[in-house]
Structure 1
Amino acid sequence: MTRTIRIERAALAALLLLALPALGAELRGEVVLEGGQRFGRGPVGPGTVVSVAAYPLEGQPLPRWAPRRLAVEVRERRFRPLYRVLRRGDSLLVRNRDRVFHELFSLSTVRPFRARLAPRGRAGAQARLRFDEAGTWHVFCRIHGSMYMRIDVVETPYVEVLPGGGRFRLTGLAPGRWRLRVAAVGADTLEVEADAVTSPPPLRLVLRVRGGA
């Protein structure tokens, strides 16, 4: 009797696995950076951070993701890092490590924000920002004109951040057509469609960068 029950359970588990969509597909390749100067400070190089995000185009389901808490520091009148990639629902803590005030503001078509940061060690030296919508925010300081940061909020768990470009591999995708979104500071966002399969040929994505960190 016990043996029969075990066999039935094993058969049921096998049927359930067959009923699930195949998630062994992937997208992989390399992001190549091309361009000139980084805000006049030299050629594009390892300091240019690139994000690669994948969005389904044929109704493939996306797994749920838990909100995360990330951080950025303002030190020596500079955002560190100057590019942050968040998922929708994440929050960002901005800490002021300088001994001066900063008046932050953003330009965005989604929901611009403002934040006043007191000098380090004082009340109000940090601000927590929550991002519940996907989009891009360009962040500046009203007091210090050289300060800049870019925030991208994506609506997918499939995202990689590549210092200096390089190779990426997005795994666990449902098979089918996907849209790849490639972005970096000082670059126009690149969007490419590709098919996710079990062993895909590597993609070569060229991102033109005009300026960056």
Structure 2
Amino acid sequence: MLALQVHAAPEGAKSTANIEGRLELAAGGGQTVEKGEVADGVVYFLPKAGTTPPRPGRFSVDTRSKGFSPAVLAVPVGSTVAFPNSDTILHNVFSRSGSNGFDLGFYGPGQARQHTFGRAGLVLVNCSVHQSMRANILVLATPHYVRPDRNGRFRLEGVPQGPGTLVFWHPRGAPTSLQLDAPGPVPKQRIVATKPPLVAGQHEGH
């Protein structure tokens, strides 16, 4: 789970607060939603006054059993994501998502290639060898983000006081947002699933 690490603010620093609530993933026409699938979502806060740029990190998405693991990942802008090949076959990981597009070329078992994401936005990742392989990487220009739990509950800690926009995102539906005057508890939000899951059956039995 991608949760913001909170540290005590130094003396004289601006005060912070928490945002907490619940996200619901509802089935749209012709779709079904598995229990716990809401945990693939991301909730992030964009302060109106701006925020300190997030610290880039290093992440990994395995190509395994002709799929991506994890199939959903949220990273701060500037982060580098490695794509190790844990299969016994060739893969070619690529994306055509605008300024974050890339093509890692063909590489074999035990090899890894990586890409650095310099712009915020949603990156749709595929494999040219296996068209069923799909992953979503959400690149964020804010350090204030969190993944909900399997019941949709979330608690975003250490956000700055003041107004801002709280965004709710899930790979299966359109994002929704909420304008806040100040951090605090928020009403339950709903995203309607209008797309099929990235990996069928991945939440069964969990």
Q: In structure 2, what is the Cα distance between the partners aligned to 1:32 and 1:192?
A: 14
CA RMSD in angstroms comes to 2.3
The answer as to whether partners of 1:53 and 1:156 remain within 8 angstroms in 2 is: yes
Q: CA deviation at 1:204?
A: 0.8
User: Residues 166, 92 of structure 1: CA spacing in aligned structure 2 closer, same or farther, 3 A cutoff?
Assistant: same
Q: Among 105, 112, 123, which residue is 1:116 paired with?
A: 105
Structure 2 SS opposite 1:110: helix
User: Residues 187, 53 of structure 1: CA spacing in aligned structure 2 closer, same or farther, 3 A cutoff?
Assistant: same
1:21 partner amino acid: K
Q: In structure 2, what is the Cα distance between the partners aligned to 1:82 and 1:195?
A: 34
Q: CA deviation at 1:72?
A: 0.8
Q: Among 62, 65, 87, which residue is 1:98 paired with?
A: 87
Alpha-carbon displacement from aligned partner over 1:98-120 (angstroms, at most 9, x marks no partner)? 11111222131333111124221
Answering whether residue 155 of structure 2 is matched by residue 169 of structure 1, we say: yes
Q: Which has the larger radius of gyration?
A: 1
Q: Give the total of aligned pairs.
A: 187
The answer as to whether partners of 1:37 and 1:43 remain within 8 angstroms in 2 is: no
Tell me what 2:133 maps to.
Answer: 147
Task: State the identity as a percent.
Answer: 24
Q: Which runs of 5+ in 2 are unaligned?
A: 1-9, 200-206
Q: In structure 2, what is the Cα distance between the partners aligned to 1:97 and 1:196?
A: 45
Answering whether residue 27 of structure 2 is matched by residue 35 of structure 1, we say: yes
Tell me what 2:114 maps to.
Answer: 128
Tell me what 2:5 maps to.
Answer: none
- Which structure: greater helix fraction? 1
Tell me what 2:14 maps to.
Answer: 21
Q: Among 22, 44, 49, which residue is 2:34 paired with?
A: 44
Q: In structure 1, what is the Cα distance between the partners aligned to 2:80 and 2:119?
A: 11
User: Residues 165, 107 of structure 1: CA spacing in aligned structure 2 closer, same or farther, 3 A cutoff?
Assistant: farther
Q: CA deviation at 1:156?
A: 0.7
Q: TM-score, normalised by structure 2?
A: 0.81
The answer as to whether partners of 1:34 and 1:44 remain within 8 angstroms in 2 is: no
Tell me what 2:67 maps to.
Answer: 78
Structure 2 SS opposite 1:162: coil
Q: In structure 2, what is the Cα distance between the partners aligned to 1:116 and 1:76?
A: 19
Alpha-carbon displacement from aligned partner over 1:13-59 (angstroms, at most 9, x marks no partner)? xxx95x54322x22111011111599x7x5333244111110012x1
Tell me what 1:206 maps to.
Answer: 190
Answering whether residue 133 of structure 2 is matched by residue 156 of structure 1, we say: no
The answer as to whether partners of 2:46 and 2:165 remain within 8 angstroms in 1 is: yes
Q: In structure 2, what is the Cα distance between the partners aligned to 1:148 and 1:90?
A: 20
Alpha-carbon displacement from aligned partner over 1:140-196 (angstroms, at most 9, x marks no partner)? 111211110011100111110225451111222222211112112222122221232
Q: TM-score, normalised by structure 1?
A: 0.78
Structure 2 SS opposite 1:176: coil
Answering whether residue 123 of structure 2 is matched by residue 137 of structure 1, we say: yes
The ranges of structure 1 where at least 4 consecutive aligned residues each deviate by more than 6 angstroms after the TM superposition are: none
